[in-house]
Structure 1
Amino acid sequence: MKQAQQKTLSTRGLHALIWQEEDVFVSKCVELEVASQGATEQEALANLEEALQLFFENEPVKASGLTNLRIVPL
C-alpha cells in the first residue's frame, strides 16, 4: 500500500486522505466519517465530493446575519 496523500476538497474546505488499496483508490474525509473509492485518484476524489454533497444535502441552512432586516419603502 502506498502512503496516503492529503488533499483539500472544494466542499466546505474539508480535507481528504487518498490511498491505493489493491486495484482501487480510497478517499476519506478527515473531518467526517465519509469515504468513497474510484479507479483513479481523480475519480475517488470526485466520488468523495459527491458523497459529501449528499451528506450535507439535508443539513438545515443556518441563519446568517440577516436577522435585523427592515423594510424600506421605495
Structure 2
Amino acid sequence: MADEVDVANNAQEVVLSAMIQRSSKKSPMFINHEQKCLNCGEPVETTAHKFCCHECEEDYRARKEAEIRRSGRRNA
C-alpha cells in the first residue's frame, strides 16, 4: 500500500514542479509608465491600465489585427 502512495506522491511532485516552471516563464506584467491610453493618448487611471475606455481598446486591437493581416500578405 505504501508503494502506491509513494508513486502517487512522486507523480504529484513532477506535475507541481512542471507547473511552477511554466508559471515562472510568464512574460512580465505591462506597466504603463506614462499613464496614457495606448490608442488616443488620454489619461488612464493607473499604470496597469492600457486604455481609457472599452472603445479605445477595441479600436486598438482591430488596428493591430489589420496590421498583422497586411504584413502577412506581404510576406506570402
Largest Rg, 1 or 2:
2
Structure having greater relative contact order (Cα 8 Å, sep ≥ 6): 1
Higher strand share: 1
Higher helix share: 2
Fold shared per TM-score above 0.5: no
TM-score under structure 1 length normalisation: 0.29
